[in-house]
Amino acid sequence: MNKTKLKKVLGFLTLCLVLVGFIGFVEKQSQLKTYEGLEIDLEAVSGVYFVEEKEVEQIISSAFPELKAGLPATEVPLAAVEKRLAGHPFIKSVQASIEQKGILKVSIQQHEPIARIARPMAADGYITTEGLIIPTSPTYTSRVLILEGAYAEQLMDQGSVNAMPELMPLIQFITKDEFWSAQVTELEINKKDDIRLHQQVGKQVIEFGDAHDFESKFKRIDVLYQEILPRKGWNAYERISVKFKNQIVCE
C-alpha cells in the first residue's frame, strides 16, 4: 500500500472514531438531561383561544404527576402527552418535544370553527374547517354562520358533515365572501334538498334547494339584488326561490 492510500485509510478511520465519539457524547448528554419545566406554544384562531394555557397545564399535571423537575428526560412520556391532549375537542394537533435545556415544549394547533349549529332544545355545536362537529366553548364564542333546522340537528348527532359533503363548499363560499358573509345570517337546513337562506336585509327567506350548483344560485340572487328588488322594493315579495335551475321565482 502506497503512502497516499495509507493516508486516506488513516484519515477515514480517524473520521469514524471522531464520529463514534461524538455520537457517544450526545447519547450520554441526552441520558444526563432532566425535565426542568413546561412550555405551552398555543396558536390562536382569529385572535381567540378556545383552549387556554392554564387548562393545558392542568391537564398535563393531573394526567402525568411524575413530571417533576429532575426526572430523566428519557422518561418523559412524549407520546402519551400528545395522545392525552389530542382528546380535547378543541385541539386539532399537538406535538411534544424536549428542548435543549430540559423544557417540555407542547405545540398546539386549535380547531377553527366555520359555522355553528344552533339547537333550541339541546347544546349547540361548531362545525370546523375540516367538517368535524365539536362542542361550543364555555369561555369564548366565535361569530360564525348559523345553521338551524331538523337536518342540521341530525348532523350534530353524527359528529361530522360526512353525510352531506356538499354542505362544506357552500359554507366556505358564504364565509369567504365579504358580501355574502354579511348578508346571509343563517342557513335553515330542513332536509338535504331543502335549504333556506335567512338574510340580514330583506324579510324574505330565500328557498335555496340543495347545496349543489350554489355558485349559479348566488349569481341569480345577485341579479335579484341588483336589478329586481331596487325597482320593486326589498319587501315586495313574500316568496323568493332559486332552487330550480336557471330560474328566479318571486311571488
Mean pLDDT of 7-27: 50
Over residues 98-149, the pLDDT tens digits come to 988 899 999 999 998 999 999 988 889 999 999 999 998 877 778 899 999 9
Q: Please tell me whether residues 96 and 129 are part of one structural domain.
A: no
Q: Please tell me whether residues 218 and 157 are part of one structural domain.
A: yes
Residue 7, pLDDT score = 55
Over residues 20-55, the pLDDT tens digits come to 444 443 444 445 689 899 999 988 777 778 888 899
Residue 11, pLDDT score = 56
Total Cβ atoms within 10 A of residue 17: 10
Q: Please tell me whether residues 185 and 225 are part of one structural domain.
A: yes
Q: Please tell me whether residues 94 and 128 are part of one structural domain.
A: no
Q: Within a domain: residue 30?
A: no
Closest Cα partner for 104 from 126, 88, 128, 80?
A: 80
Range of the domain at 156: 113-250
Q: Please tell me whether residues 193 and 69 are part of one structural domain.
A: no
Nearest-angstrom CA–CA distance, 212 and 176: 18
Which 8-state DSSP code applies to residue 238? S
Q: Please tell me whether residues 193 and 92 are part of one structural domain.
A: no
Closest Cα partner for 211 from 230, 188, 227?
A: 188
The total number of structural domains in the chain stands at: 2
Nearest-angstrom CA–CA distance, 92 and 57: 17
Give the global pTM. 0.78
Q: For residue 39, give every residue at least 6 positions away whose Cβ sits within 8 Å of its Cβ, in sequence order, or none.
A: 99, 103, 104, 105, 106
Lowest mean pLDDT among 12-21, 166-175, 190-199: 12-21
Nearest-angstrom CA–CA distance, 115 and 118: 10
Residue 81, pLDDT score = 95
Residue 1, pLDDT score = 54
Higher-confidence position of 159 and 172: 172
Over residues 68-79, the pLDDT tens digits come to 988 998 999 999
Could you say which of 94, 110, 126 is where a domain stops?
Answer: 110
